[in-house]
């Protein structure tokens, strides 16, 4: 969650770091700070709130120097105060540290330091790292050895970056466990470290991703790598092709709006090179399971959190319908705690936009411990999930998603999940090449159909004008669209702060129907499929209680259209693929409501993009 940027080189470190932190604002934060080394001394600037506050502080009290580190914090230990903001120093003032993660044994370590007479200035677990590092550096006379020793003593997932006054050209960075990423950018006579690619991709495309238990030694002229035990490592940079311009708003008012409108392109990118319409076949380059291994699968466990969990629910319908393999869907945060029993010939599929979601990574680790392989469907290149996935990865190629509320990554996950289901069905013999060809044709038509849906924004503005003051909303869907009702409600509550519930429509009469009155808008997904008539009945039940129906229908529908107060027309597709189209109005409607209510669309309160702590 926290944003990390470090720089060593000829540029003004403050400019590089603050720009990088701006690129990481999507991760969510409540305070920010920077430390720069100049004339043999560290100077810190910290502030609570948005980066604008830190920028103002830097205008009033400028910093100059060519080596520094910066941080955006999302509080886990200690209140949101300037004192608790990163970076943190040790008592001597020689050591400065920033961190992403949670030190699970920080109280134990802090008590040891308190007994030794160390006085703490903050309530954070991060200051424990700084104080330990200061003491060990003094005792050992070796900053690098001290840093490695501190990292070995920490429990929990942690990414730590440190600098030392007596080593003025040096930045140390390390990663343990499933903390947020540590990305080292290798440049020409300058080098960088960050918690995500967008922070440094303006300066270099040569990236090295630290694994668990690895340490980077960074100067302006050189980067070397070793284990925490001191063994040297040879790591080859990955050349990242992301254009830094893609992280800019490009004329849109918000990143979320931009990312909604990118979906014709991003859904196309998920398909590129993977479908052969002529042969009726699917090619998933990152999948490391043979057709025989796919054919032998008897059970799949789909694990994720948040929006990605809704994608798992849709994946269940895809796989069970097309490949006839049983799928269990679990929250990543609950999976390992229920002591799961894996059946024979099982596979775990992890869905995560960041590839760093700690609960999802823990589920993958649990599967590995029980001898079950994991497949990752994700967006972030070089992430931890991609490296843990011993059954391979399916990258969705959506590019950086900056807004906290996921849009294009969700549709990318659905497209990738459908491709996997087709591949699995073909390997198991439940789908012929002719059938796969029909499905591919439907897939390749999706981007164009999304494009047509993005042309009538005025409709959503009218709905927002009408309903932006409501207190509650209900979202209903059936069959494969039931998860889309959940996703629609999540989008609405995430960014507009309106209480919203998503339900399978058949469950409405088992509770939610008691909430329906003349003030409640009810979004009903009523596109054509084999449960259309049942959905029509649910629409009638809402109307009978006075609810205001906002219905999603296909062209040519007359029955629902005659009953609903508002209609959103969605292009027709094969019913199983309908979620990819039906979620688009949910995203736009939530966005329009949030804008009308004056909410912070891209950075909703209390939320973070990448959840790297439990």
Over residues 195-204, the pLDDT tens digits come to 888 899 889 9
CATH class of the domain defined by 3-247: alpha beta
| Under 8 Å between Cβ of 204 and 240 | no
Task: Using the predicted structure, report yes or no on whether residue 246 has a pLDDT greater than 80.
Answer: no
Please give the pLDDT value at position 399.
81
The proportion of the chain whose per-residue pLDDT surpasses 90, expressed as a percent, equals: 69
CATH class of the domain defined by 457-596: alpha beta
- Provide the mean pLDDT of the chain: 91
Mean pLDDT of 205-220: 93
3-state secondary structure (DSSP) of residue 327: strand
Mean pLDDT of 499-527: 86
Neighbours of 554 (CB within 10 A): 20
Task: Using the predicted structure, report yes or no on whether residue 315 has a pLDDT greater than 90.
Answer: yes
Task: Using the predicted structure, report yes or no on whether residue 481 has a pLDDT greater than 60.
Answer: yes
Higher pLDDT, 158 or 93: 93
| Under 8 Å between Cβ of 32 and 72 | yes
- pLDDT interval class at 279 (50, 70, 90): confident
Domain 255-453 and domain 457-596 have a common topology: yes
- pLDDT interval class at 221 (50, 70, 90): very high
Task: Using the predicted structure, report yes or no on whether residue 126 has a pLDDT greater than 70.
Answer: yes
Please give the pLDDT value at position 503.
92
- pLDDT interval class at 28 (50, 70, 90): low
Catalytic positions, please?
2, 609
| Packing angle, helices 408-428 and 578-596, rounded to 10 | 170
Please give the pLDDT value at position 14.
96
Task: Using the predicted structure, report yes or no on whether residue 397 has a pLDDT greater than 90.
Answer: no
- pLDDT interval class at 241 (50, 70, 90): low
> Whose structure tokens read 């990543």?
332
Task: Using the predicted structure, report yes or no on whether residue 611 has a pLDDT greater than 70.
Answer: no
Task: Using the predicted structure, report yes or no on whether residue 29 has a pLDDT greater than 90.
Answer: no
- Strands 373-378 and 393-395 come out as parallel
Please give the pLDDT value at position 179.
61
Please give the pLDDT value at position 5.
97
Q: Is the pTM of this model over 0.85?
A: no
Give every CB contact of residue 355 below 8 A, 6+ residues apart in sequence: 181, 376, 378, 379, 380, 382, 383, 384, 385, 386
CA dist., res. 109 & res. 328, Å (int):
40
Domain ranges of the chain: 3-247, 255-453, 457-596
Lowest mean pLDDT among 41-55, 228-242, 494-508, 600-614: 600-614
Tell me the Cα Rg of the chain.
25
Pick the CATH number of 255-453 from 3.60.20.10, 3.40.50.300, 3.40.50.10490, 2.60.200.20: 3.40.50.10490
Task: Using the predicted structure, report yes or no on whether residue 154 has a pLDDT greater than 80.
Answer: yes
Task: Using the predicted structure, report yes or no on whether residue 614 has a pLDDT greater than 70.
Answer: no
Q: In what order do the strands lie in the sheet with 31-38?
A: 41-48, 31-38, 67-73, 3-8, 191-194, 183-186, 206-209, 238-239
Give the 3-state DSSP-derived string for 416-475, with helices as H, strands as E and coil as C.
HHHHHHHHHHHHHCCCCHHHHHHHHHHHHHHHHHHHHHCCCHHHHHHHHHHHCCCCEEEE
Task: Using the predicted structure, report yes or no on whether residue 27 has a pLDDT greater than 90.
Answer: no
């Amino acid at each position: 969650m926290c944003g990390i940027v470090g720089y060593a080189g000829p540029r003004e470190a403050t400019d590089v770091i603050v720009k990088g932190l701006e690129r990481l604002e999507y991760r969510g934060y409540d305070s920010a700070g920077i430390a720069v080394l100049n004339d043999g001394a560290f100077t810190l600037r910290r502030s609570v709130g948005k980066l604008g506050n830190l920028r103002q502080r830097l205008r009033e009290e400028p910093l100059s120097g060519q080596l520094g580190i910066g941080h955006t914090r999302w509080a886990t230990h200690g209140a949101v105060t300037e004192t608790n903001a990163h970076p943190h120093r040790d008592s001597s003032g020689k050591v400065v540290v920033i961190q992403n993660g949670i030190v699970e044994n920080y109280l134990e370590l802090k008590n040891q330091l308190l007994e030794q007479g160390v006085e703490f200035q903050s309530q954070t677990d991060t200051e424990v790292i700084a104080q330990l590092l200061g003491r060990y550096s003094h005792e050992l006379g070796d900053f690098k050895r001290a840093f490695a020793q501190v990292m070995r003593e920490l429990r929990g997932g942690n990414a730590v970056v440190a600098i030392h006054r007596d080593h003025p050209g040096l930045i140390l960075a390390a990663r343990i466990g499933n903390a947020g990423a540590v990305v080292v950018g290798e440049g020409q006579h300058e080098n960088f470290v960050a918690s995500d690619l967008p922070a440094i991709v303006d300066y270099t495309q040569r990236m090295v991703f630290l694994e668990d238990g690895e340490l980077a030694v960074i100067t302006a002229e050189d980067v070397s790598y070793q284990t925490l035990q001191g063994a040297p490592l040879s790591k080859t940079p990955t050349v990242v092709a992301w254009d830094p311009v893609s992280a800019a708003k490009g004329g849109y008012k918000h990143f979320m709006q931009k990312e909604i409108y990118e979906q014709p392109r991003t859904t196309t990118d998920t398909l590129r090179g993977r479908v052969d319409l002529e042969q009726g076949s699917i090619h998933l380059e990152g999948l490391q399971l043979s057709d025989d291994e796919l054919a032998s699968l008897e059970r799949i466990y789909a694990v994720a959190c948040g929006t990605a969990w809704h994608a798992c629910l849709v994946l269940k319908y895809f796989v069970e319908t097309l490949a006839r393999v049983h799928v269990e869907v679990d929250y990543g945060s609950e999976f390992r705690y229920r002591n799961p029993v894996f059946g024979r010939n099982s596979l775990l599929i992890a869905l995560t936009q960041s590839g760093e979601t700690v609960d999802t990574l823990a589920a993958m680790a649990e599967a590995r411990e029980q001898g079950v392989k994991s497949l990752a469907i994700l967006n972030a290149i070089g992430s931890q999930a991609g490296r843990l996935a011993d059954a391979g990865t399916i990258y969705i190629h959506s590019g950086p998603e900056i807004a906290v509320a996921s849009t294009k990554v969700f549709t990318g996950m659905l497209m990738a999940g459908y491709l996997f289901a087709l591949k699995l069905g073909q390997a198991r013999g439940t789908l012929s090449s002719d059938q796969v060809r029909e499905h591919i044709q439907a897939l390749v038509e999706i981007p164009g159909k999304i494009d047509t849906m993005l042309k009538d924004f005025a409709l959503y503005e009218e709905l927002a004008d009408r309903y932006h003051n409501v207190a509650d909303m209900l979202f209903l869907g059936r069959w494969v669209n039931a998860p889309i009702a959940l996703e629609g409600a999540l989008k609405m509550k995430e960014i507009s702060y309106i209480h919203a519930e998503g339900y399978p429509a058949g469950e409405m009469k088992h509770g939610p129907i008691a909430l329906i009155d003349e003030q409640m808008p009810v979004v009903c997904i009523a596109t054509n499929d084999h449960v259309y008539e049942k959905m029509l009945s649910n629409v009638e039940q809402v109307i009978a209680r006075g609810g205001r129906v906002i219905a999603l229908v296909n062209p040519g529908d007359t029955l629902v259209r005659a009953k609903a107060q508002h209609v959103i027309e969605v292009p027709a597709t094969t019913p199983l693929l309908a979620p990819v189209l039906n979620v688009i109005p949910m995203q736009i409607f939530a966005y329009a409501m949030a804008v009308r209510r004056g909410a912070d669309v891209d950075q909703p309160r209390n939320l973070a993009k990448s959840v790297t702590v439990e």
